[in-house]
Structure 1
Amino acid sequence: MTEEQNVIFDDWRTGKKYEVSVFSGIGKRESQQDCAYVAANDSSVFAVLCDGMGGMNGGQIASHTAVEAFLEHYQYKSSEPEWMKQAVLNTDDYIYRIRDEEGKLLRAGTTLVAVTLNKSELKWVSVGDSRLYVYRQGELIQATTDHSYFAQIRSQHEDGELTDEEYLNLRREGDGLLSFIGMGGIRMMDFNDKPVQLMAGDTLLICSDGLWKTLQADQLQEILNNCESVDTVTQEMNRRIGLLDRKDQDNYTYILIKVMEE
């Protein structure tokens, strides 16, 4: 995977069990720091998406390296129990140890969200604020948790631990990540211990924050409600991002996987 090639889709499908579509845009940024890989055949789908962070090209290096490292674990370790957890820990350590041309630690990082579908059984892992949504019967549900400062204080506010005034004051301090790949010790990780059985018609949306911070959940749900195929969904999402034409539009990458047959 080269720096210019930030998305790869290895498609070995011959049947119609899964519909799969992938899209990536650079937005208004000077470089593309999102990276994704998808592989699909007639019985399974594997997808991993990373959103890099770091000065100069550090984020790009981190996201590309993380995707490649996670893919290697999938290829050689996926038959082992809890391989996804171990893949996250090993990838984090590997990214943390990357050094620049002067021999100093690169100090770059990346979010990561990965899914496996095997005979419609879903497993996932995520670190950071790239997201996995499940769309079922007209409703879009966020399956992963954002490992961010904003998500933490929002949860505390909803639980009554913070007053309205405290919450608003804390929101002004920004929205940094509390856990990411490359920090040298994962603080938080989302992982489903038991596979989730998907049904015909269920659709997965895997995306970087460049999508969900631009199009709200109700907008994404509306698009999924009104588009018949995942290809038309990806096109409509990209069209709406283009119409907004935000000056600070981040890189955005998203993967859609629809189960056609149980």
Structure 2
Amino acid sequence: MIEWLCTGMTLPRWGAIAALAGMALLALACFRLGTRKRKEKSNPSDQPPEGQVGQITVGKLHEQGAREEQQDCFALSDEALIPTHGLLAAVADGMGGLSHGGKVSQAAVQAVLDAFPACKGSTQAEPLLLALAQRAVQAVNDLLGPDGLRESGSTLVLGLVREGSFSFLSIGDSRVALYRNGMLTQLNREHVYQRELALRMVNGELPLAQVYTSPKGAGLTSFLGMGSLQHIDLPAAPIRLLPGDRIILMSDGVYNALTDQELTQALAQEPEQAAQAIRQAIADKNYQNQDNYTAVILACAPDEP
């Protein structure tokens, strides 16, 4: 079953999502992938390949915060595709400072979901993610049209678990991080203007203080909806997953609200409880301008005792 949420409700198709835009509630679920029980006799060909993390548990969090509408969107690929394609997760954050950010994030996620089943399972992770990103870029550009480029936009982060490894592609400032052995490590690089300022500082063009004090530092330098992208981020190689690892894909409404320490404490729990802990921690902050916040947590089963 394909699962995706853009307005806080689990909905099967684009039209229903558009009709319910602006609604939000917490969506928390925990389900077993790859080794779920079947009524029929197990077929050896259905088992994960040797070395694959055979069981992934998913926690999900999707809240509107204090914003007038929900512009985040996330999706998980169909469970039936796991043996051949792996598990794909997507998080897109429509840009609140621009118009129709929710429609753009939905268009990006819809394009990725539509394209993923047609991708051959034997395709290496990086080319597959590049092809999916290209579909998302084209879908958003088509939605906005030549005159609408940069009038709206969205970030996008894709995460793919396949054969015991994790790969990702990111555009914008949504984050992907790895929790391992009690430590949280950000895996992707954000496409924000502060990076450009840092380069200019190293080249002697401006003082160090300006890198961290510029009001434009958080502005995006690459995002869906700008036409041709300026940056994408990919790992040098897929990351081999270990028992007990957690991967979190999240919009900036999560990591701007919580410290790394708070996120680390939450992710030490099972993914369903971790998602609930993140939600509660953000609610406890009670920020008057709390952004939409969305997270997908992919957890590898721990070693058997």
TM-score over 0.5 for the pair: yes
Pick from 234, 247, 251 the counterpart of residue 288 of structure 2.
247
Instruction: Report the alpha carbon displacement of residue 173 of structure 1 after superposing the two structures with TM.
Output: 3.3
User: Which amino acid letter does the alignment assign opposite residue 27 of structure 1?
Assistant: G
Instruction: Report the alpha carbon displacement of residue 224 of structure 1 after superposing the two structures with TM.
Output: 2.2
TM superposition score normalised by structure 2: 0.75
Instruction: Report the alpha carbon displacement of residue 155 of structure 1 after superposing the two structures with TM.
Output: 6.7
User: Which amino acid letter does the alignment assign opposite residue 24 of structure 1?
Assistant: H
Contact 1:123 1:196 in 2 (8 A): yes
Instruction: Report the alpha carbon displacement of residue 167 of structure 1 after superposing the two structures with TM.
Output: 2.6
> Is 1:132–2:176 an aligned residue pair?
yes
Partner of 1:93: 138
Instruction: Report the alpha carbon displacement of residue 94 of structure 1 after superposing the two structures with TM.
Output: 2.3
Q: Equivalent pairs: percent with the same residue?
A: 25
> Is 1:20–2:61 an aligned residue pair?
no
User: Which amino acid letter does the alignment assign opposite residue 211 of structure 2?
Assistant: Y
Pick from 219, 227, 230 the counterpart of residue 262 of structure 2.
219
> Is 1:165–2:206 an aligned residue pair?
no
Q: How does 1:97-136 map to 2 (within 5 A)?
A: 97-99=142-144, 105=148, 107-136=151-180
Structure 1 range deviating more: 26-35 or 5-14: 5-14
Partner of 1:47: 89
Distance 1:54 1:118 in 2: 33
Distance 2:261 2:203 in 1: 25
Task: Provide Cα deviations, 1:112-152, integer angstroms capped at 9, x if missing partner.
Answer: 00111012211111100001000111110000110011344
Instruction: Report the alpha carbon displacement of residue 153 of structure 1 after superposing the two structures with TM.
Output: 3.1
Instruction: Report the alpha carbon displacement of residue 105 of structure 1 after superposing the two structures with TM.
Output: 2.8
Pick from 192, 196, 203 the counterpart of residue 246 of structure 2.
203
Q: Secondary structure at the match of 2:156?
A: strand
Task: Provide Cα deviations, 1:147-169, integer angstroms capped at 9, x if missing partner.
Answer: 01134435766x68553333345
Distance 1:201 1:95, change over 3 A: same
Distance 1:220 1:153, change over 3 A: farther
Partner of 1:190: 233
Contact 2:32 2:57 in 1 (8 A): no
User: Which amino acid letter does the alignment assign opposite residue 77 of structure 2?
Assistant: A
> Is 1:178–2:221 an aligned residue pair?
yes
Distance 2:160 2:286 in 1: 34
Distance 1:222 1:163, change over 3 A: farther
Task: Provide Cα deviations, 1:177-217, integer angstroms capped at 9, x if missing partner.
Answer: 00011211111001135321100000001000000111021
TM superposition score normalised by structure 1: 0.86
Partner of 1:143: 187
Distance 1:55 1:218, change over 3 A: closer
Q: Secondary structure at the match of 1:191?
A: coil
Distance 1:235 1:65 in 2: 28
User: Which amino acid letter does the alignment assign opposite residue 280 of structure 2?
Assistant: R
Distance 1:25 1:83, change over 3 A: same
Taking CA–CA contacts closer than 8 Å with sequence separation of 6 or more, which of the two structures ends up with the larger relative contact order? 1
Partner of 2:6: none
Distance 1:126 1:99, change over 3 A: closer
Stretches of structure 1 that go unaligned for 5 or more consecutive residues are none
Q: Secondary structure at the match of 1:98?
A: helix
Structure 1 range deviating more: 88-97 or 136-145: 88-97
For the aligned residues, what is the CA RMSD? 2.9
Instruction: Report the alpha carbon displacement of residue 10 of structure 1 after superposing the two structures with TM.
Output: 11
Partner of 1:84: 129
Instruction: Report the alpha carbon displacement of residue 174 of structure 1 after superposing the two structures with TM.
Output: 4.6
Count matched residues: 256
